[in-house]
């Protein structure tokens, strides 16, 4: 079982809230009233915020605890340290990405339509949570912190490669370039746009994100069509 997995959280029995007690924030229980999964989620979200702001190396567990509004020791109750927190953040993020890619692969559409959806899924993730994308780009894909997760990243590449290969086999996409190489070129275009937003070298308003999605689809897919 992967470290930090929430399947162990069933051991945490939700604390009973006293009659008439009010929540500290609409839609979110006060720290003392939270269940184990809720506390872990609070700590994880705080870690993303701090990692994105200070960087992994300059982040202390006490910084995460402060951002989460919990005691320093409570972070260690759920996570062994910031390394496990980063791993947990990555694993959960990549799980959702891979699920999205698998769903796209199974749709009954053309290869070009599927690849366009992949672009929207990956670039649209920045619009949904810029801090999370920043952490994944800077602290995972461009660092050596989680080299053990390279197999998980390879699975995403494999899905894209299969979509391209199917398009080549049907005659929809040009087949004079190996599907594996095409998948890396395709992924590279998406990754560089995300990196440009993370480093601030590309504008990242909602309009800019939409424009980038269209640019990758039209320029990259345009060159792939037979």
Q: What residues contact 3, with CB distance under 8 A and at least 6 apart?
A: 80, 84, 87, 88
| Averaged pLDDT of the chain | 83
DSSP helix/strand/coil, 110: coil
Whether 127 shows a pLDDT value over 80: the answer reads: yes
Positive or negative torsion for Cα 134, 139, 142, 146: negative
What are the structure tokens assigned to 192, written together? 């560089």
What are the structure tokens assigned to 148, written together? 């053990």
CA distance 45 to 70: 12
Q: Which class is domain 25-79?
A: mainly alpha
Whether 18 shows a pLDDT value over 60: the answer reads: no
Span between the terminal Cα atoms of the chain, in Å? 44
Residue range 203-226: mean pLDDT, rounded? 91
Q: Which class is domain 86-224?
A: mainly alpha
Percent of the chain at pLDDT > 90 equals 63
Per-residue pLDDT at 12: 37
Domain with CATH 1.10.357.10 in the chain: 86-224
* Contact (CB, 8 A) for 59 and 82: yes
Per-residue pLDDT at 37: 79
Residue range 143-149: mean pLDDT, rounded? 58
CA distance 216 to 185: 11
Domain with CATH 1.10.10.60 in the chain: 25-79
Report in angstroms the alpha-carbon separations of 148 from 51, 81, 139, 226.
20, 17, 14, 37
CA distance 158 to 153: 9
CA distance 32 to 151: 39
User: How many C-beta atoms lie closer than 10 Å to residue 60's C-beta?
Assistant: 12
CA distance 149 to 214: 30
Whether 143 shows a pLDDT value over 90: the answer reads: no
Per-residue pLDDT at 181: 94
Q: What is this structure's pTM?
A: 0.77
Percent of the chain at pLDDT > 70 equals 80
Per-residue pLDDT at 146: 55
Report in angstroms the alpha-carbon separations of 121 from 30, 88, 167.
34, 21, 19
């Amino acid at each position: 079982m992967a470290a930090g997995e929430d399947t162990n959280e069933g051991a945490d029995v939700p604390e009973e809230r006293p009659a008439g007690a009010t929540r500290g924030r609409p839609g979110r229980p006060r720290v003392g009233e939270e269940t184990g999964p809720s506390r872990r989620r609070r700590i994880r979200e705080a870690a993303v915020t701090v990692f994105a702001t200070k960087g992994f190396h300059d982040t202390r567990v006490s910084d995460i605890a402060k951002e989460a509004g919990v005691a320093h020791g409570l972070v260690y109750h759920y996570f062994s340290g910031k390394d496990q927190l980063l791993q947990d953040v990555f694993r959960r993020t990549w799980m959702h990405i891979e699920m999205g890619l698998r769903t796209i692969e199974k749709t009954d559409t053309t290869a070009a339509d599927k690849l366009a959806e992949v672009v929207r899924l990956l670039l649209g993730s920045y619009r949904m949570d810029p801090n999370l994308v920043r952490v994944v780009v800077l602290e995972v894909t461009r660092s050596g912190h989680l080299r053990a997760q390279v197999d998980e990243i390879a699975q995403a590449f494999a899905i894209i490669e299969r979509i391209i290969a199917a398009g080549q086999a049907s005659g929809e996409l040009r087949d004079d370039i190996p599907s594996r190489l095409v998948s890396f070129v395709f992924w590279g275009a998406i990754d560089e746009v995300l990196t440009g937003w993370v480093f601030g070298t590309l504008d990242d308003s909602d309009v800019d994100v939409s424009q980038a999605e269209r640019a990758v689809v039209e320029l990259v897919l345009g060159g792939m069509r037979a």
